[in-house]
Amino acid sequence: MPEKSTILVVDDDNHVRETIKFLLSAEGYSLAFAASGQEALEKAAELTPDLMLLDVLMPGIDGFEVCRRLRADPHLAELPIVMVTALTDRGSRLRGIKAGADDVISKPVDYVELKARIHAITRVNRYRHLVELKKQVNQQKAMMLHYQHKATIGMMASELADEIRQPMHNLLSTIENCQEDMHGESIDSQKIATGLNEIATTARQLEKIIHHIHRLSNEPKPKTETELVDVNSAIEDALIGFQQNITLTKNLADDLLPIQADKVQIEQMIINLVTNAREALDKRDDKQMLIATHRQNGFVTIRVEDNGDGIAPEEVEHIFEAFFTGKKRAGLGLYIVQDIVKTYNGTIEVESTVSEGTTFVITFPVVEEETT
């Protein structure tokens, strides 16, 4: 949105146009002029001004008709219009209002009053534009969160397919062995019982994975629908399927207090951080990752550390920007991480050394235990 408010002055009298130009130029407005109703419609479509000063009595298309046409145009329907008229009767003023004018000023114009009205209307209109822009930003942000969430599910589906494959193979193999034992000449009840226990254990493992996929497939809850979240539990659930070919060390403190958040979003935050670390470890033979938690001064701290490629100093300040493109860092992953952290009043810091690795440190305020 331009810094200056644009005012379109419409009057067939050149003297009036020059007078208004003289009076308003010093006020910091960007001024445009039209000498007829048709020209006014064309310039309004071209400029989308913040305000139109519209004369009523003009040859061809008069001010009333210009006003009606603007109100019928979805792109210009909310354009503030101040109608300036030599018609002093009440009926003409009402006609202007009915045509869609926001205000009607009679000639001869009191220019002190005119400047005051212009200032008030342009201020309100620019505020309205800011509200609309904020709404659009929030809508785009929600859309990005939605698509990032869906992308996370797609990534998890690929990761968890490998996680499910081996337990499923073991489950089917054990079932087949039990079936063979039951159809043999003698039934070894102890062997069958052992097999059934293995089946139950594997089934519970698969159930946990499926439950995790189901929970992640749900859209994150609004901030008003949060819950008490055990950070360690969220980390454990988020790490299902992420440990392949990586030496993962977990140092999770056992004295953590819960945080107020949506657990699915906390899991998504961890998934995005771990995914970022895995990409940084791609060329490393010795892939090391550390995830740690601890409690300090009313906060829970989460530390995600890798010994990957590291981040160049000139890139560090940009990595949380949406669609920032660095070496293997294009996309929304870290932008979403930062957004989730801010949503729940947390902070995030990054320390990185090229060729040595990167550490992300996240803190969230805890929900203190009630004392009686």
Domains of the chain: 6-109 (3.40.50.2300), 138-217 (1.20.120), 223-365 (3.30.565.10)
- Asked if 240 and 160 count as a contact pair (C-beta separation under 8 A), the reply is yes
**pLDDT (0 to 100) of residue 206:** 67
CA terminus-to-terminus distance, the chain:
55
Q: How far is 300 from 234, CA to CA, in rounded Å?
A: 13
**pLDDT (0 to 100) of residue 85:** 81
**Runs of H (alpha helix) within 183-225:** 189-217
Of the candidates 355, 249, 261, 254, the residue with the CA atom closest to the CA atom of residue 304: 249
**pLDDT (0 to 100) of residue 123:** 80
CA 345 to mean position of chain CA atoms: 16
**pLDDT (0 to 100) of residue 344:** 92
Per-residue pLDDT tens listing for the chain (372 residues):
456 788 999 999 898 889 889 888 888 888 999 999 999 999 999 998 989 999 988 888 999 999 999 999 988 988 899 888 877 667 777 888 888 888 888 777 787 888 888 888 888 777 777 777 677 666 666 666 665 556 555 655 555 555 566 666 667 777 777 777 666 656 666 776 777 777 776 676 666 666 656 655 555 555 556 899 999 999 998 887 665 678 899 999 998 999 999 888 898 889 889 888 888 888 888 889 999 999 988 999 999 999 998 988 888 888 887 656 555 444 567 888 888 899 899 999 999 999 899 999 999 999 876 544
Burial of 86-95, coded b for 16+ CB within 10 Å and e otherwise, reads ebeeeebbeb
Whether the CA torsion 118, 124, 129, 133 is positive or negative: it is positive
Distances (CA, A) of 333 to 108, 110, 173, 274: 62, 58, 39, 10
The partner residues of 261 in beta bridges, in order of sequence, read 227
Pair of tokens at residue 266: 């906390």
β-pairing verdict for 6-10 and 30-34? parallel
The DSSP secondary-structure symbol of 225 reads: G
Confirm whether pTM is higher than 0.85: no
- Asked if 12 and 66 count as a contact pair (C-beta separation under 8 A), the reply is no
Q: How far is 339 from 285, CA to CA, in rounded Å?
A: 32
Pair of tokens at residue 37: 């109703």
Three-state DSSP state, 250: strand
- Residue 159 phi/psi, 5° resolution? -65, -45
Helix or strand (DSSP H, E) at 359:
strand 357-365
**pLDDT (0 to 100) of residue 137:** 66
- Asked if 56 and 84 count as a contact pair (C-beta separation under 8 A), the reply is yes
Name every residue whose Cβ is closer than 8 Å to that of residue 175 and which is 6 or more positions away in sequence.
Answer: 195, 199
- Asked if 259 and 367 count as a contact pair (C-beta separation under 8 A), the reply is yes
